[in-house]
Structure 1
Amino acid sequence: MNTIVLLSAVASVNAMHALTPVRPALGVAARRTEPVMVGTFGKIAALPTLYALMSANEYATHRWYQHEEFNRDHALQRFCQRMAFWLRGRPLRKPDGRNNLIKIFGGGHVEHHAETYDDMSLKKDDRWRKTKAAASLDTDRFRGTAFTWPVTGLMTIQMLPSTLPVFALLGFSLLQTLAILLPGMLVHALVWNMLHPPMHGLPSVPISVGAPGNWIGILRNTPYFRAIYENHQGHHVLGGQCNYNVCCPMMDHVLGTHVPTAVWTKRMRPVPGPDATERWGVPVEPAGVPQAPIIGAGLATEEDLTPTALAC
């Protein structure tokens, strides 16, 4: 009987041990299971850092890809030429001795500038519609102005080489970094699509095509929207040679390519009146932005019908 009681007691003790959760011992083993925590500095610096990286990415994409400035003879171009020579044997010189530049296509953005008047409307007259530049934009209902979902995805991928290591230094894990980056890129696409197609008289971007900018259309009456609108006006008026930031102003100020409104407004060209030429639509703009002079009825010449010069 005593043996049975003893065995029952042992069994009860073993059962209690089995039901009792095991607590990790203090020390190294416990520390290994703790998640990496972001420090106070990392938490404070996260959003400003992301904004700075987005501004740099936007600037580089707009200037060197969309405006095809990569195609010119500069240090980055020469570096890429040498890499292509070492890796693929691509000649540095053409047979006639000229520099064998690497050329990229800017996705129709240069052609978009050729179509834009200084009041931000897009020309649509028969003479322009017969050009190769106009025809190249006809495959896109937004004529190169919208951030489609593929473009947004590409911009996000471009952000990874800079964002991942920088945020790792701030103490963020991969998932934590993506949890900040992906919403940030969505907001960027929303702002771009709120601004860019409507300011050129084109319709709002539907969710089937890209981030629907009209979701945040209320921002059109804010000082922020007016500031980025005028900044992009100046970009067009000066032929795409300045004000490369669109949604995230900063890098233009750092690199000396920002031109203030008071300067570029002096360079605005008169635009043909409604009687002179057809347009794709009426620009959507905030109140109080600079207005291009209007040529009087019947006074527009062929030269007046030529839009802002291409960036070249």
Structure 2
Amino acid sequence: MLAAMAATEQQNRTWSQIDVPDQSGRVVVITGANTGIGYHTAAVLAYSGAHVVLAVRNLEKGNEALSRIVAAAGHGAREVHVTLQALDLTSLDSVRAAADALRNAYSGIDLLINNAGVMLTPKQVTADGFELQFGTNHLGHFALTGLLLDRLLPVRGSRVVTVSSLGHRMRAGIHFDDLQWERRYDRAAAYGQSKLANLLFTYELQRRLAAADASTIAAAAHPGGSNTELMRNLPAIVRPVATLLGPVLFQSAAMGALPTLRAATDPAVEGGQYYGPDGFMEQRGHPKLVRSSAQSHDEDLQRRLWTVSEELTGVRFGV
């Protein structure tokens, strides 16, 4: 009973980066870690002692991010361990090459953070012919997770944390009759589909991990309204409103990283949980346990998306 009361108290109080436990000895892989939320997540974990792998598409920007993290550690601070890994989520060949490199480099991975993403992009397709948002945000991460799972499963307490969005409620559905939006493209609905897919994937992965009695867990997070490079694709008609209301709606990328950090490091986190900001409409604030849409908990939908994702990527999971 005392343990339950302590857990409840921890859930209810304000949580910040100072609550990140010591990460010494942990190997962390973060996609899209050269900017925005991914960068701040990587920096905090590196300063907490983890060996952090920045898995990025643009190696030049990745090197700049690595240098900033190391420089900000300052003289006399604990040594930080940060490395780069080339990864282009829009290419399954690149995903496989990155997974092979990571599997060769590390016998165990403690934490995989599926953070990279694109938002509200004009109609484009990936190297494999997938709609860009669905291919990057969901299928690329689905494949990467499956290919790295054998490095996560042996590590007690390992986690897969996938970053979703409030957009999973935005005109969202899984359009199985036209997953790649070949007939009619709606970039907002396509974004919503990809972010809903992130949660469906997380919940189905957690169910499979639990059924296999694995100590690895899958959790999810969302950053609320955060001021990052993802905002560059906002429709022109919306930009003036976003600029005007930005101070109210959007928080810094450093604050937006907190839900991911909590899902990734808080000892109280359980598989299948979802974290987001505690403020009005989950737009801003410190991270807390939040609820996702009823649709994201549809187990039939989860299983159907899983099967389709395996078929599209050619990746099968070991659970």
TM-score by length of 1: 0.28
Q: Which of the pair is proportionally richer in strand?
A: 2
Q: Which of the pair is proportionally richer in helix?
A: 1
Say which structure, 1 or 2, has more relative contact order (CA 8 Å, 6+ apart): 1
Highest CA radius of gyration, 1 or 2?
Answer: 1
